[in-house]
A and B are shown apart, each in its own frame.
Chain A
Amino acid sequence: MAETTTWRASLGSASKTRSTRAWRVRSSAVIVAAVVLAVLVVPPLVNLDEQAVNLAAKLQPPSWGHPFGTDDVGRDLLLRCVYGLRVSLLVGVVAAVVATVIGTAVGALAAASGGWVDRVVMRLVDVFSSVPHLLLGIFIVAMFRPGVWPVVVSVALTHWLSTARIVRAEVLSLRSRPYVDAAISGGASRMRVTVRHLLPGVLPQAGLAAVLMVPHAIWHESALSFLGLGLPTHQASLGTLVQSARGSLLAGDWWPTLFPGLFIIVPTLAIAGLAGAWRERINPRRRSELML
């Protein structure tokens, strides 16, 4: 389904689309760089207390002093959003890395073993995928009480399945290559063939899956936190910011809800834009598409 021929009609304006695409990749890179810079540099540099309550300045609409306005206890929302993005990004990256490691290990194990191990493992993957991700995540977090680690674990445990499938397919296709045959006939052990010859070949695909998983993991963290099942409400994450803005929203103040959501959307689009360019590089036949 994902593999499609390049549309004939778009060939006519090939140079135009190429420049639009380059522009998209460049702006995505700028946004991702800005996000990384903001979450790494701003907190230690500005030395402001994002938790500082100032009831005299509560619920101020966006202005020059507070570009995103202030929340219901007078905290600057731009600063809260940056701190929230920091927490959400950390949760997202850790969950994505853990999920990718699990998925790569399981997929490589299944493909390299073959036979009944492969069948049993892939059936288990099928079983796991039959439970909706968010629901399984909700179940895990509910049982282990809300907090940072249950959220990371629940997102990681629900997201390794697609990586396992991708890595398994990739290993199976690599295994039929001549250089792997050569290694096997040269007397290399199964372990050595897997680690030296097969795993390096799947790393680009696994890395791409990991990058694409980061926005997905952030999305899940924010959904869990919004439902009151994620991070504690005093911990600024993009989900808890939207959750705690609900009261203000019902009183008619839109900005505490609007900006944290934009902080989810814009980095997601930027990461997807970069990942799309990467995908085209390692697999040029596929047109980039955003898969959430």
Chain B
Amino acid sequence: MKSALQKLPWGPMARMTGRRALFAVPVLLAVTFGVFAIAAASPFDPVKAYAGTAGLTASQENLDQLRRNLGVDQPLVQRWWDWLTSAVSGDLGDSSTLRQPVSDVIGERIGWSVLLAATAFLLAILVGTTLGVLAARRPGGWLDRAVTSLAYTLEAAPPFWIGLLAVWLFALKLGVLPSGGLTDTASTAVTAGQVASHLVLPAAVLAISQLPWFVLYVRQGVGDALGDDPVRGARARGLAERTVLLGHALRSGMLPVLTLIGSRVPELITGALLVETVFSWPGIAAATVSAATAVDFPLLAALTVLATAAVLLGNLLADLLYGLADPRVGFDG
């Protein structure tokens, strides 16, 4: 195992990571500036948002004072730069709806989102691979057609709709799973058992929303591999169908799929936004939606940047894995 680790091309991989980190700086700068520019062009007034209902009765003098305190009277570039410099030192501002520092909001919630997303992703890989291999085994057969049609249908179905129907069936009709939240309303302590039972439905629905991609790509990859020379060679040597399918076709067919996993981060975030909202999961995506509903700019800006960073990280992971899987590609990107 140790020798295998040592054989990895650490040098080129580190250089690629470094280059991507350098590229991420201008991207994140551009995205943060874009976020501020959109807010500046919109009718949104941060002073009124901060003051809330008190802003309706406050005197103009108080509002002007607040405007100065918040720095809103500064030009766009100045406000962006101020936000950026304090963000670098770890101060992302205060959420206007939750009345607590943005960094605390993120810190409290990100763990639950990662738990949900990771569980859903693992589930999607397992089920997607199984269905994809079954479909690829006999292209055009009834199983292939059933699995492919199911994948297309699920791809077209909105995840929030699947989530609501799942709540209806499993929580209301069958009464076997809780309909939302992290724990039962009666209990105050967060126990592993409670979290696990509350995780089942949201993770399954998020997995279903990611499933079509895995199924279709595994089917394609394994289907292509089944026609390649190594598989024909294995068949010619008289190996068992099972060995050919799992030992040869799946191994070479899965490679392109596994390497592309990192590039699925945007879709995962999109799915999480909807699924966390349906199931009142206390994660970061649900916080994004409530921040948007309440026009909580500091929180929304930070979460948009965070999501962008996650996407860049996913792309890097995909390219590193791809370079590892196929040495011809290398680490020059």
Interface residues of A (CB under 8 A from B): 1, 4-5, 7-10, 13, 16-17, 124, 126-127, 130-136, 138-145, 215, 219, 222-223, 226-229, 242, 245-246, 249-250, 252, 254, 257-258, 260-261, 264-265, 268-269, 272, 289-290, 292
Contact = CB atoms under 8 A, between A and B. Distances in A.
* 10 closest cross-chain pairs (CB), A and B: A142-B292, A143-B42, A261-B161, A268-B156, A132-B266, A134-B270, A132-B269, A265-B156, A138-B292, A7-B139
B289 A138 contact: yes
* Dominant secondary structure of chain B at its interface with chain A: helix
A186 to B, nearest CB: 40
A142 B300 CA distance: 9
A187 B6 CA distance: 60
B281 to A, nearest CB: 14
B36 to A, nearest CB: 11
B311 A131 contact: yes
Nearest to B273: A134
Interface residues of B, number: 60
B140 A143 contact: no
Contact of A290 (B155, B256, B270, B312): B155
Given A139-B38, A250-B172, 16 more contacts: A5-B224, A9-B226, A13-B140, A131-B31, A133-B270, A134-B274, A135-B269, A142-B300, A144-B42, A222-B158, A223-B274, A227-B274, A261-B165, A264-B156, A272-B152, A290-B156
Contacts of B277: 227
Given A131-B304, A143-B295, A249-B168, A290 B152 contact: yes
Contacts, number: 158
Contact of A7 (B26, B39, B227, B308): B227
A145 to B, nearest CB: 7
10 contacts: A9-B139, A130-B31, A132-B267, A138-B289, A138-B292, A139-B300, A144-B44, A245-B164, A258-B165, A272-B156
A160 to B, nearest CB: 15
Nearest to B160: A226
Contacts of B267: 132
B307 interface: yes
B223 A7 contact: yes
